[in-house]
Structure 1
Amino acid sequence: MELKILSNINSPVDLKNLTIGELNILAQEIRETLLEKISQTGGHFAPNLGIIEATIALHYVFNSPIDKFVFDVSHQTYPHKILTGRKDAFLNKDKYGTVTGFTNPHESDHDFFTIGHTSTSISLACGLAKGRDLLNGKENIVAIIGDGSLSGGEAYEGLNNAAVSGKNIIILVNDNNMSIAKNHGGLYKDLELLRETKGKSENNFFKSLGFEYHFVDDGNNIEKLIEALKKVKDIDHPVVVHMHTIKGKGYKDAVKHLEFYHYVSPFDLKNPKLMLEKKGESYSDISENFLIKKAKGDKSVVVITAATPGSVGLQKFREECKEQYIDVGIAEEHAIALVSGISKRGAKPVVEAVGTFLQRTYDQLSQDLAINNNPATIVVHHGGISNSSITHYGIFDIPLISNIPNIVYLAPTTKEEYLAMLEWSIEQRQYPVAIRVPNTAVISTGEEVEPKFDNLNKFLKVESGNQIAIIGLGDFFHLGKKVYDELKKIGINSTLINPRFITGIDEEMLYKLLEGHELVITLEDGVLDGGFGEKISRFYSDKDIKVLNFGAKKEFVESVPLKELYERYHLTEKLIIEDIMKIFK
């Protein structure tokens, strides 16, 4: 691909003397660059294609990094990175992995926060603005937030406070009429009316809060964007610039299938249908099929997601059980309080959520749900050690959920256990229950599991032995089985336990292990601090037995290969055996 303009762009300063025609060529070159790069590596696809022109206009008008941009979620910052000295990471295949998928202050002075969760940009921008004012600064502070992110509670809090700050703060609302999935909520009727009236509707959410308001009908028109942004540059009061953009612009299939192309794995640009091919059964499929059958047979069953039906596998449920499906938008806090209310009225709510996003809900889990002890089911997806970005690292759900009183947190090891736990959780009326979906390929034994877990915190002994007891939680039970098999090869007949429960310990079984065992090891797919293994260690702390806890170290990691993490944390059968043998020397 020949680059007429982009080859000469090494910083935002290089944009300043370009003509509108040249800026449009630059936009096309960035778009072609992103299409080629993301299709080969995967990443956030449609969000970045839709904000190219706006990013060029921002850097053309403002003076980054003196003027400061805060991108909400920051999953739409690939064009920003290309324009701020990081284009080689998008043009050179050998450097594809040298930048992250989100803003990162360690990469560039043009990034001010590491951000990957939603609805935070306005609050962060308010903080930058206040710091500027305290230190007598003069720069512009610009928050860039999508319409989908406006459904998150912190976005409302930020808007409410930004509107009365009395100083320069510019909020650029990127409205493409789409969240990860379709937008839900009353706010979006207001935005729709503003789009239809070209910003002239009297029903104006932003004006009602006190913002000066500007509308750009074609948010992919660089000239129009520059004109609007020049009007608000160096403004001395809070202002909203509301622009209407096309998510996925430049790739027809993405514009047609916005939800699917929000984030993609590597695919063939010329044959994108290959992405749609199923790659075997998943736990999401199992959940969805079970819930469809359950909902069709029981009208009191309702399933809730927070804008992530694709991530948790609810697209088919959404179509077949429309009246029993709720998408609350990016509002996990509301989702948890909502299910508490649904349960109190006697219905049977199920929340399907991504583990990292449940971090927003601690207060609702504790106050709205657990204190009231309302029975509900929370299905936690993508919990565990992974090679994900630092902002989406899913190892903290066990300490978060399992230490709140009244909540029962379950860890299935197989398809059969998972289905039994779902059935029991939905039908029981005693506890709020969370179920941690195995973070592995589906494992099925064919053995029926009774959907009865009323006898809380009773572990399942799978193999009886002596000397060493292995307690493998959830998907790491299978790692425990591998360790068991290796020990057997060297003459050690150990005990293998599937605890099933994360929220408590089986004291009776743990006492019995004191007879004939010298060592207990725990394995968990999560952070050790505050985790499951520490409960076992605490129980044995005043007893004559040694305990080894295996799991993740308390640290933030950025897209580290899973194999490397397992080596770091000694989560391979070889390294676990080596650590065991050190105890027996």
Structure 2
Amino acid sequence: MPKILDQIQGPNDIKKIKPKELEQLAVEIRKFLIEKVSKTGGHLASNLGTVELTIALHLVLDFPDDKLVWDVGHQAYTHKILTGRKKGFDTLRQYQGMSGFPKRKESECDAFDVGHSSTSISAALGLARARDIKGNDNKVVAVIGDGALSGGMAYEALNNAARLDSNMVIVLNDNNMSITENVGGMANYLGKIRTGSKYRNLKDGVENVIRSVPCVGNRVADKVKRSKDSLKRLFIPGMLFEDMGLTYIGPIDGHNIEQMRRAFLSAFRANEAVIVHVVTKKGKGYSFAEKKPSVYHGVEPFYVRTGENKTKEKAITYTQVFGKKLIELAKEQESIAAVCAAMPSGTGLMQYRKLFPERYYDVGIAEEHAVTFAAGMAAGGMHPVVAIYSTFLQRAYDQILHDVCIESLPVTFAIDRAGIVGSDGETHQGVFDLSYLCSMPNMTVMAPKNGTELEEMLSFSVKQDMPIAIRYPRGKINNRLEAFAKPIEYGKSETLYSGEKIALIAVGSMVETACDVREKLKSHGIHATVVNMRFVKPMDTERLEELTKSHSVFVTMEENVEQGGFGQKVADYLQTIKRNDIALVNCSIRDQFIQHGNVEILKKTLGLDADSITERILLNL
């Protein structure tokens, strides 16, 4: 029997499918997603939860003329299927394959490139204004999750959307989760809307009773109806959006296609911004994802029948080492507090949260607030440790500079997923942090070569009265360099191997690569020096000056962009001491964004693998 899904070959094909077949289409899409993501890895639970929502939107929108903006975008897989990209799922998130996020260069049906939270309303509002200026009449829709409403940018956009004098629809996809459970006032507020039937029951009952009164019933009922805003404020908290100047519809069953379709058509008839609140279940249709949606938010390849990860190896990760060490330190030092932005699991803080609930703060998807909140705690005598991914911390650039560094407050930044992270692509690669952090006065920047050094750096940082950033990569730890364990000394590097002529000067994750390069150079009769810098700022200039006495080639190695990076700092230093006779080979990332793909493939493509670096060195001799 032919699959209904096979009828979807391009944009708008869904309109040819009979209404009675739409529920079966949803079933087939879920089966397809589970099968494909189990092989490639990707975002699963969020996509399973938005199948019917996406179908309903595609029934009322015409692509590519109408514009649909997804917040973050990791829930847009069904949208990709319905716009004719089903075959692309065989290469999902693989090098030169289909992106796991909406990409304009991938399809004209993707209205905006996304990857970070709380951006969709702003982008959609911009698209609506552009439409109005150009005199077009296409529809504009933003889909934003309830978790993304913990981000301040969403409220800035809502504030401006209330002034829109033409139509725009904001779909609030409410699944009571971001990556982990939601926190804060908005989460509680939406929870009341989901469960609150008091207003609707009271309104209907009162109106029916009054209208039954002879002669005066209809007149009194009309007055009561005109006072509905007061009733709403008393019995249903959904008036927040209407008080902001936005029309609110909902909550609606996010798995009832026909109900959503009617609601969207109604919303499009308004000459203003309308919020349609739909309630969905994250992970719907796959029992393992329904029970543990945070575990199945982003997954590696897995076995469909058991839900188990196909990777048997249970290696220790940098994230786990950080979490474990912070617990040890918090037991010894009562001034330590942990702050994260809606990712306690991803940053390794789940166990810390259980043990020190009074010193643990999840502020939601609000990195800017997280940093200034931490600055306030530091000013009050605490030593907060802010654990945020590199790609998300860059959203709080001004807060780090203005609220932490100017006052030189004792805040430790634990920067996970620094460097090349792989499959999530341009929006998630953590390759800018060295550049922007090193530009800030009073900031100290460190990078460990392995897990043991991460522990030592964390211990060191929480004892200092200044801002310190520790950046470390995603993934497992290699214990190969455990023999090198010189104590941490402020601003000082560590020499792993002493040689001559060529100095391999590496930062963090690239120290291991430097050791591989050293071995490859030995086959060419070259015995290189390997230096683990440890501190990118302040840089160990004494060690660099010492190296100039016996080396003619400096090779700097970092997983960071070239502009403003460690290699440029070394080049500036050589220029300052007028050592133009020292050749510098800067192994970093050129002026570009890095696409998605396997980390090892990306490193080779970028020239940051041991073979490529060795070849560059030999060419410079």
What TM-score, normalized to structure 2? 0.89
Deviations 1:294-315 (A, max 9, x none): 2233332211111112222222
Taking the TM superposition and a 5 Å limit, the aligned residue runs for 1:200-215 are 201-204=235-238, 205-215=240-250
Match of 1:436 among 438, 447, 471: 471
Question: 1:350: how far off?
Answer: 0.7
Matching of residue 557 in structure 1 with residue 591 in structure 2: no
Q: Please state how far the C-alpha of 1:96 moved relative to its aligned partner.
A: 11
Q: Which runs of 5+ in 1 are unaligned?
A: none
Question: In the superposition, relative to structure 1, how do residues 291 and 92 fare at CA in structure 2: closer, same or farther (>3 Å)?
Answer: closer
Question: 2:227 corresponds to which residue?
Answer: none
Distance 2:442 2:270 in 1: 52
State the Cα distance separating 1:223 from its structure 2 match.
1.3
Residue 580 (structure 1) aligns with: 617
**Higher deviation after alignment, 117-126 or 539-548:** 539-548
SS in 1 for 2:535: coil
Q: Secondary structure at the match of 2:537?
A: coil
> Contact between 2:91 and 2:97, CA under 8 Å: does it hold in 1?
no
Aligned length: 580
Are 1:476 and 2:475 an aligned pair? no
What is the match of residue 335 of structure 1?
370
Give the equivalent residue in structure 1 for 2:179.
Answer: 180
**Which stretch of the first structure deviates more once superposed, 555-564 or 216-225?**
555-564
- Residue of structure 1 equivalent to 2:28: 29
**What aligned pairs does 1:172-571 form with structure 2 within 5 A after superposition?**
172-198=171-197, 201-204=235-238, 205-274=240-309, 279-388=314-423, 389-429=425-465, 431-439=466-474, 441-444=476-479, 445-446=481-482, 449=485, 452-453=488-489, 455=490, 457-541=491-575, 542-543=578-579, 544-571=581-608
Deviation at 1:408, TM superposition (A): 0.5
> Is the deviation greater in 134-143 or in 441-450?
441-450
**How far is the alpha carbon of 1:460 from its aligned partner?**
2.1
Tell whether the 8 Å contact from 1:340 to 1:376 is kept in structure 2 after alignment.
yes
Deviates more, 1:355-364 or 1:439-448: 439-448
CA contact (8 A) 2:96 2:597 kept: no
Deviates more, 1:499-508 or 1:272-281: 272-281
1:404 deviates by: 1.0
1:113 CA displacement: 1.4
Deviation at residue 185 of structure 1 after TM alignment: 1.1
Moved more, 85-94 or 244-253: 85-94
CA contact (8 A) 2:557 2:588 kept: yes
Closer, same or farther in 2 for the Cα pair 1:450/1:484, shift >3 Å? Answer: closer
Which structure: larger Rg? 2
Partner in structure 1 of residue 212 of structure 2:
none
Structure-to-structure mapping, 1:9-158, within 5 angstroms: 9-90=8-89, 98-158=97-157
- Matched residue of 2:153: which SS? helix
Partners of 1:277 and 1:370 in 2: CA distance: 43
Counterparts of 2:91 and 2:65 in 1: how far apart (Å)? 29
Shift of 1:447: 5.2
Give the deviation of 1:175 after TM superposition: 0.4
TM-superposed deviation, 1:263: 1.2
Comparing 82-91 and 326-335, the one that deviates more: 82-91
- Alpha-carbon contact 2:12-2:82 (below 8 Å) kept: no
Task: Report the CA distance between 1:138 and its aligned residue.
Answer: 1.2
Q: CA RMSD in A?
A: 2.3
Cα drift, residue 559 of structure 1:
1.4
Separation in 1 of the partners of 2:339 and 2:473? 20
TM-score between the two structures when normalised by the length of structure 1: 0.94
Alignment partners' CA distance in 2, 1:486 and 1:466: 15
Letter aligned with residue 274 of structure 2: V
Residues in 1 aligned to 2:2 and 2:347: alpha-carbon distance in whole angstroms: 40
| AA of the residue aligned to 1:394 | G
Distance apart, 1:484 and its partner CA = 2.3
Higher RCO (CA < 8 A, seq sep 6+): 2
Q: Distance in 2 between matches of 1:274 and 1:439?
A: 18
Shift of 1:166: 1.9
Measured in 2, the distance between the counterparts of 1:10 and 1:481 equals 50
| Secondary structure of the structure 1 residue equivalent to 2:141 | strand
Runs of 5+ consecutive residues of structure 2 not aligned to the other structure: 201-234
